[in-house]
Amino acid sequence: MNLFKTATTVCGLALMGAILSPSAVADDWNRKTKITFSGPVEIPGVHLAGWGVLPAGTYTFKVLDSLSDRHIVQILNEQETTVYATILAIPNFRLKSTDKTVITFRERPAGQPEALRAWFYPGRQWGEEFVYPKAKAMELAKITNTPVLFTPVELPVEVAEPIKTADAPVVQELRRAPVMAITPRGEEVQLAEVVTPPPAEAPVEAAAAVAPMQQQGTLPETASTLPLIGLFGLLALGGAVALRAVAKRLN
């Protein structure tokens, strides 16, 4: 009887693990983070009409789509009911590393909102540096005296409806858009001159593999062992039933 109870417990724990693990993996992949701004912040990317500058308040940052050389980041309201912006970001290892959530800005003249530069997620030794339209990148580069990432592709600046899925036409354009940098002197330079990709051990490629499968409604690679856990649980239950039958015969 004790053996039967033990096997049943093992089975239950195994099935519980199979149920709970996927949500933890998904949360790590999209890196959802609540961030509070104490003042207005100018943002790049494709934003909801009237939301090119975010007022002070709390917002949700998360990754919508992840490729090996770029990420698509979205900014939502705190309750995650409205998407304010969909932004192209490049992982940049040259930015100062941090072990906690940090947002950096490009300073603007007095009276103007600070411009969003990068987002650091805890555990990542690199920052998501955001890509601006060319005209705005030129302005920021001169003001801050640092190179600013931009795309020469003419993308819509505002949209009337929030972008909700990774297969939206605008997101497809962001995936393909070339990215360069512009210097304070107005010179266009290749991305490799100002951006250092994270080292091979950084989890960029792993995130890139997870994203397409999540869009298709399947489990991520990192959750591929979960069916085995469930199988072991079922085998344990079957073994327990067999042992119980044998014990009855012996009695």
Whether the pLDDT of residue 235 is over 80: the answer is no
Q: Phi and psi dihedrals of 4, rounded to 5?
A: -65, -45
pTM for the whole structure: 0.68
H/E run at residue 149: strand 148-151
H/E run at residue 115: strand 114-120
Kindly report which listed range (22-26, 82-86, 196-200, 222-226) carries the lowest average pLDDT score.
Answer: 22-26
Q: Which residue has the higher pLDDT, 154 or 14?
A: 154
Whether the pLDDT of residue 21 is over 50: the answer is no
The answer to whether 163 touches 173, Cβ cutoff 8 Å, is no
The residue-averaged pLDDT of 8-17 equals: 35
- The residues near 189 (Cβ < 8 Å, ≥ 6 apart) are 147, 180, 181, 182, 183
Residue 168: strand, helix, or coil: coil
- The residues near 101 (Cβ < 8 Å, ≥ 6 apart) are 33, 35, 119, 120, 121, 122
Report the Cα 48 to chain-centroid distance in Å.
20
b/e per residue, 37-64, with b = 16+ CB within 10 A?
A: beeebbbbbbbbeebbebeeeebbbbbb
- The residues near 194 (Cβ < 8 Å, ≥ 6 apart) are 94, 147, 149, 181
Token readout for 48 is 């909801």
Residue recorded with tokens 């091979």: 200
Q: Residue 226: what pLDDT?
A: 41
Whether the pLDDT of residue 178 is over 90: the answer is yes
Q: Phi and psi dihedrals of 2, rounded to 5?
A: -60, -40
Q: Which residue has the higher pLDDT, 144 or 29?
A: 144
Strand 148-151 versus strand 180-182 pairing type: antiparallel
The answer to whether 68 touches 202, Cβ cutoff 8 Å, is no
Query: How do residues 41-67 score in pLDDT, each as one tens digit?
Result: 999 999 999 999 999 999 999 999 888
Q: How confident is the model at residue 243 (pLDDT cuts 50, 70, 90)?
A: low
Query: How do residues 115-168 score in pLDDT, each as one tens digit?
Result: 999 998 887 778 899 999 999 999 999 999 999 999 999 888 899 999 999 999
Q: Distance (Å, rounded) from C-alpha 14 to C-alpha 20?
A: 10
Q: What average pLDDT does the chain have?
A: 76
Domains of the chain by residue range: 1-29+219-251, 31-216
Kindly report which listed range (6-20, 94-108, 123-137, 146-160) carries the lowest average pLDDT score.
Answer: 6-20
The residue-averaged pLDDT of 189-207 equals: 72
Q: Which residue has the higher pLDDT, 192 or 210?
A: 192
The residue-averaged pLDDT of 86-97 equals: 87
Q: Residue 242: what pLDDT?
A: 54
Q: Distance (Å, rounded) from C-alpha 180 to C-alpha 154?
A: 14
Q: Residue 41: what pLDDT?
A: 96
Q: Distance (Å, rounded) from C-alpha 48 to C-alpha 58?
A: 17
Q: Residue 4: what pLDDT?
A: 42
